[in-house]
Chains A and B, each alone.
Chain A
Amino acid sequence: MRNVSLSLDAGRFYVLRGDNGAGKSTLLRMIAGLNEPTEGRILVFGQNHKDARSLMGYMAHASLLYEDFSAMENLRFFSRLYSIDSDALLEAAIRRVGLDPRLDRHVGQYSQGMRQRLSLARAIFHGPSLLLLDEPFSNVDPDSATEIVQLLAGMRNEGKTILLVTHQAGILSDIADEFLVMSRGELVSRSTPQQVHA
């Protein structure tokens, strides 16, 4: 990453694009607190990003789920890390991504699309104000991708800020507020969907 200076407004949907190796995932990981910038600072809602972990939801390339646990068992474990003790909240998050919370099959037996949905449920169950999503549509069939887009649009309308990395920016052109483009570790452009289409 080089000289990245980026300010995001609350309640807006940002799509981060760029070639492979441009630094998109690294930027997300830095905001989430997984990678450390060599210099500079990252503030989330005015706080140091590491102090704002409960305000962020992070979805990575990998599912970040235990394969020998069911959906509810996975979310129950992660919810305790956020001091959340309500199964109803977890069931709602699982239903919201189109899965059945009563499904007791282990995640290891899930299809890739189901894993992606559950991974999204893991990122949103605690009601984060900032969502960092890394390729949420990879290995997802077109219908499921459309459902995820609608879900994200709903979350944006609820006031959540979304920063999403994808190579399939086309499916987000109707709901994205701004497109950011990275190249070789630098943020090279910011544009609205209207500017992109013009």
Chain B
Amino acid sequence: MSLSITRLASVNLRKDLRLEWRSKDVLNSMLFFCLLVVVIFSFAFDLTVEETRRIAGGLVWTAFLFSTVMALNQSWARELRNGVLDAFRVSPAPAEALFLGKCIGNFLLVLLLECLMAPLFVIFYNLTSVGPVWQLIIVFLLGTWALVVNGTFFAAMSIRTRNRELMLPLLLLPVSIPAVASMVLATAEVLTGESSPLLQIKFLAVYCVVFTTACFLLFDTVLNAE
């Protein structure tokens, strides 16, 4: 019996995407929340194009960060209903496969949210990028992975606590501060074209590698903690 982690991760990923496709719980709540943030902020500030470029990084990542937190809580809540997580734990499948599948599933959902929301940000804030857009794509890919990998890990940690909705941001946000700061800076640097975001991109890449490895290695302990 060969239980390859990547094959089992893909089994978990397909299961998560199929469940999400049927319920659309995660995507709907993320979209609604993000839409609210975009609309409220657009009415709250009256900015010039230049000013918008400078603050857009913070605004965009704030919206995506909190939307991601909502998604992560719900993706694990699905595993608690009817105790399904126990069925996984009694199986011979390695915990890392569940973690990897969940991370990729959440990553794809948040990316989808970003793709759907990007035109709205452009319209509501009259955003255009001075720097190359491909750099922005790299920042978003790395930034989203950084949020999702830590978020999936800490959501699993808080899943069995009484106040899991409160616990996740409390655990996730402090750890994510360096990555979020880097994402905001890099996004502003690309949008304004004033400086190169290369340093921030390198930092994000290292952050992703370090935290993905740490979360991957520690996940079995977290999943089986009582």
Contacts and interface: CB of A to CB of B under 8 A. Distances in A.
A62 B83 contact: yes
Given A36-B226, A53-B91, A64-B87, A80 B82 contact: no
Contact of B3 (A66, A67, A83): A83
A24 interface: no
A198 interface: no
B8 interface: yes
A179 B123 CA distance: 71
Contacts, number: 70
Interface residues of A, number: 27
A33 interface: yes
Interface in A21-59: 32-36, 53-54, 56, 58
B93 interface: yes
B11 A68 contact: no
B88 A81 contact: yes
Given A53-B92, A77-B15, A81-B8, A68 B82 contact: no
Contacts of B83: 60-64
Contacts of A80: 8, 11
Contacts of B160: none
A77 B78 CA distance: 15
B23 A68 contact: yes
B163 interface: no
Interface size class of B (residues with CB under 8 A): 20 to 34
A59 to B, nearest CB: 10
A interface, by DSSP: helix, strand, loop or mixed?
loop
A69 to B, nearest CB: 7
Contacts of A54: 1, 91-92
Nearest to B87: A64
B interface, by DSSP: helix, strand, loop or mixed?
helix
B71 to A, nearest CB: 17
Contacts of A65: 82, 84, 87
Interface string B70-86: 00000000100111101
A53 B86 CA distance: 12
Given A66-B82, A69-B19, A77-B15, A82 B87 contact: no
A35 B91 contact: no
Contacts of B44: none
Nearest to B4: A83
B2 interface: yes
A33 B90 contact: yes
A122 interface: yes
B202 interface: no
> Among the interface residues B3, B78, B90, B92, which one has the most CB atoms of the partner chain A within 10 A?
B90
Contacts of A77: 11, 15
A122 to B, nearest CB: 7
Interface in A75-130: 77-78, 80-83, 122
Contacts of B86: 34, 58, 60, 62, 64
Interface of A: 32-36, 53-54, 56, 58, 60-69, 73, 77-78, 80-83, 122
25 contacts: A33-B89, A36-B224, A53-B92, A54-B1, A56-B90, A58-B87, A61-B83, A62-B82, A62-B83, A63-B83, A64-B82, A64-B83, A64-B84, A65-B82, A66-B19, A66-B78, A66-B81, A66-B82, A69-B19, A81-B11, A81-B88, A82-B91, A82-B93, A83-B2, A122-B87
